[in-house]
């Protein structure tokens, strides 16, 4: 029995060490080589997702270890050689109540933080800025209704020679979404022709972009930097060529960028809207 306890302790220790190392082997805003965990969190929502995941991992390991110990005990102590005269007991009220009540308690303990996390994700707080993200075949279009009449496309850079040093291959785009740090950003999203999905792992954000419907999500980035995501809904031939790049900057830098964006991408509302996607290969 002592051996089983030691094996269980070793297994739990290894899992804990792996979970800790996973924080090291995790991308900061983008995937990284040998990544073993989520990308490093950059929002309060993602912080809660990581905590919930870690707690659930420990719970699963503890349950699996307990069941393994029980199986080993049964194999060793109750085989035909060790226990030639088996018990004829068919019912044990205490045991039956225990294995019914304990799983229910565990599930309730998991459900409470799960519901709290869902509420946090879906209940959008008062926003400091709104960004509209429209999924098209196959690129993203962004507009800032709170900051002026401008709109721009964000297309993956296919020519690796045109990537900046800080842009990863297959994730770098020509025009990044820009938002201020430590501000609540409300993202409203839709699809132009088929279903897409707006997802940024470091923000804990993932929501469908559906034609004819507006969905919304939110994030509050707590660190400056560039954070990458991708369309997460199978949307056609170039589904894999729809990266999302969000540049988080200071409030002053954001104000400067908005003024430049108004001049560069001024939108003419009198012109008819054309949802037909240009060939991204030509960009």
Asked if the model's pLDDT at residue 72 lies above 80, the reply is: yes
Q: Do residue 136 and residue 263 come from a single domain?
A: yes
Q: Do residue 152 and residue 62 come from a single domain?
A: no
Chosen domain end from 26, 48, 82 = 82
Residue 280: its pLDDT value, please? 46
Kindly report the CATH number assigned to the domain that includes residue 159: 2.60.40.420
Q: Do residue 186 and residue 254 come from a single domain?
A: yes
The mean pLDDT value for 21-46 works out to 79
Q: For residues 252 and 214, is the Cβ–Cβ distance under 8 A?
A: no
**Mean pLDDT value across the chain:** 87
Residue 148: its pLDDT value, please? 87
Look at residue 115 and tell me if it is in a domain.
Answer: no
Structural Rg of the chain based on CA atoms: 26
Q: Do residue 77 and residue 133 come from a single domain?
A: no
Asked if the model's pLDDT at residue 78 lies above 90, the reply is: no
Asked if the model's pLDDT at residue 188 lies above 80, the reply is: yes
Cis check: omega of the bond before 138, within 30 degrees of 0 = yes
Query: What's the CA gap between 63 and 83, in Å, rounded?
Result: 27
Look at residue 51 and tell me if it is in a domain.
Answer: yes
Residue 152: its pLDDT value, please? 96
- Short-list 198, 184, 176, CA closest to 129: 184
Q: For residue 237, give both structure tokens.
A: 């031939």
Look at residue 246 and tell me if it is in a domain.
Answer: yes
Residue 275: its pLDDT value, please? 39
Banded model confidence at residue 244, pLDDT cuts 50, 70, 90: very high
State how many domains the chain has.
2
Asked if the model's pLDDT at residue 24 lies above 80, the reply is: no
Look at residue 99 and tell me if it is in a domain.
Answer: no
DSSP β-bridge partners for residue 225: 248
Torsion of CA 277, 200, 218, 268, to 10 degrees: -20
Better pLDDT: 241 or 30: 241
Q: For residue 228, give both structure tokens.
A: 């990458």
Chosen domain end from 59, 82, 105 = 82
Q: Do residue 74 and residue 173 come from a single domain?
A: no
Asked if the model's pLDDT at residue 274 lies above 70, the reply is: no
Q: For residue 20, give both structure tokens.
A: 């800790």
- Short-list 131, 243, 120, CA closest to 180: 131
Q: Do residue 158 and residue 231 come from a single domain?
A: yes
Banded model confidence at residue 36, pLDDT cuts 50, 70, 90: confident
Look at residue 97 and tell me if it is in a domain.
Answer: no
Query: What's the CA gap between 241 and 29, in Å, rounded?
Result: 18
Look at residue 88 and tell me if it is in a domain.
Answer: no
Q: Do residue 61 and residue 177 come from a single domain?
A: no
Scored b (16 or more CB within 10 A) or e, 31-52 reads eeeeeebbbbbbbebbebbbee
Look at residue 181 and tell me if it is in a domain.
Answer: yes
Residue 13 domain boundaries: 2-82
Query: What's the CA gap between 68 and 66, in Å, rounded?
Result: 5
Chosen domain end from 20, 48, 82 = 82
Q: Do residue 70 and residue 157 come from a single domain?
A: no
Q: Do residue 133 and residue 77 come from a single domain?
A: no
Q: Do residue 251 and residue 136 come from a single domain?
A: yes
Query: What's the CA gap between 212 and 122, in Å, rounded?
Result: 20
Q: Do residue 167 and residue 58 come from a single domain?
A: no
List, as one string, the DSSP characters of 131-173.
EEEEEETTEEEEE-TTT-SBEEEE-B---GGG--TT--TTT-B
Residue 31: its pLDDT value, please? 84
Q: Mind listing the pLDDT tens digit for each residue in 207-224? A: 999 999 999 999 999 999
The mean pLDDT value for 55-63 works out to 94
Q: Do residue 146 and residue 58 come from a single domain?
A: no
3-state helix, strand, coil in the chain (%, to 5): 40, 20, 40
Look at residue 155 and tell me if it is in a domain.
Answer: yes
**Chain-centre distance for alpha carbon 170:** 19
């Amino acid at each position: 029995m002592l051996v089983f306890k030691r094996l269980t302790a070793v297994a739990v220790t290894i899992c804990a060490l792996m979970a800790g190392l996973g924080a090291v082997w995790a991308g900061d805003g983008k995937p990284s080589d040998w990544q073993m965990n989520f990308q490093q969190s950059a929002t309060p929502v993602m912080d809660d997702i990581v905590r919930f995941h870690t707690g659930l991992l420990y719970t699963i390991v503890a349950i699996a270890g307990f069941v393994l110990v029980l199986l080993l005990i049964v194999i060793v102590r109750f085989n035909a050689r060790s226990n030639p005269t088996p018990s004829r007991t068919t019912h044990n009220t205490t045991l039956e109540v225990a294995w019914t009540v304990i799983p229910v308690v565990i599930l309730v303990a998991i459900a409470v933080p799960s519901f709290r996390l869902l509420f946090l994700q879906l209940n959008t707080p008062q926003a400091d800025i709104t960004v509209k993200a429209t999924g098209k075949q196959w690129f993203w279009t962004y507009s800032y209704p709170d900051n002026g009449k401008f709109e721009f496309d964000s297309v993956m850079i296919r020519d690796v020679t045109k990537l900046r040093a800080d842009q990863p291959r297959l994730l770098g785009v020509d025009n990044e979404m820009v938002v201020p740090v430590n501000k609540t950003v409300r993202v409203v999203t839709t699809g132009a022709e088929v279903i897409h999905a707006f997802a940024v792992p470091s923000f804990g954000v993932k929501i469908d972009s559906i034609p004819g419907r507006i969905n919304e999500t939110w994030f509050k980035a707590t660190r400056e930097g560039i954070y990458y995501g991708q369309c997460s809904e199978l949307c056609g031939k170039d589904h894999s060529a729809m990266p999302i790049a969000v540049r988080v900057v200071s409030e002053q830098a954001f104000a400067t960028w908005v003024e430049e964006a108004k001049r560069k991408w001024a939108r003419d509302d009198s012109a008819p809207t054309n949802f037909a996607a240009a060939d991204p290969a030509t960009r």
